[in-house]
Amino acid sequence: MCEFDWSVAAAWVQAIGSIAAILVAIWLGERNARQSRELVERERRRQADIVASTISTKLHLLGVELNKKAHFASVIANQVHAGSVPQLDDTAMRKLFLLDQLPTFGDLRSHFTLFDRDTGILANTTWDVVEGYNPMIESAITVHRAMGSGDQSLIGLCTTVVERMQYIQGLCSDTESRLEEVHELDRDDPAGAP
């Protein structure tokens, strides 16, 4: 009969225990790394949802402003067509036709990187178009004044303003809808918002 060697058995138990300890350490490390990644991703999504909600609200408010100003521009154009030409100085035109919401919206642009690729591109494009509106209308007002401020020039200015505002309003609405969809923002139920 073979004699059992306890020193060999102890070496085997120690080797198996060491391997088991290494496997447990690897498993724990992977689990902790996965949990850390999930925590970071949840925080990134939370921040993106907050920014998306803020931008969506600002786009909605900008859309309201655009709608009101486009209406006033249409009313002025209709008055000119009817033969009643309103007297508008440069200050009144700027107040009527230029956007007021721009400075607060621009502060959020650096946060667009939190969005997925398509939503980030859409938000950036919308901002680029919105940002270019006031300089374009300033130029149109200057051209209107240079042309002598006649009826046709005023109608042309009003038409330009209305067309541009309607385009921007559509773009803002599309971006707002996309942000609400992607980030599951529910405008009708603020209590259910994430």
The span from the CA of 134 to the CA of 145, in Å, is 16
Reported as a single tens digit per residue, the pLDDT across 51-83 is 899 888 888 988 899 999 899 889 888 888 888
Q: Hey, where are the domains in the chain? A: 16-192
DSSP 90-115: HHHHHHHHS-SSHHHHHTTGGGGGGS
Residue 194 has pLDDT above 50, yes or no: no
pTM tops 0.85 = no
Residue 2: helix, strand or coil by DSSP? coil
Residue 184 has what DSSP assignment? T
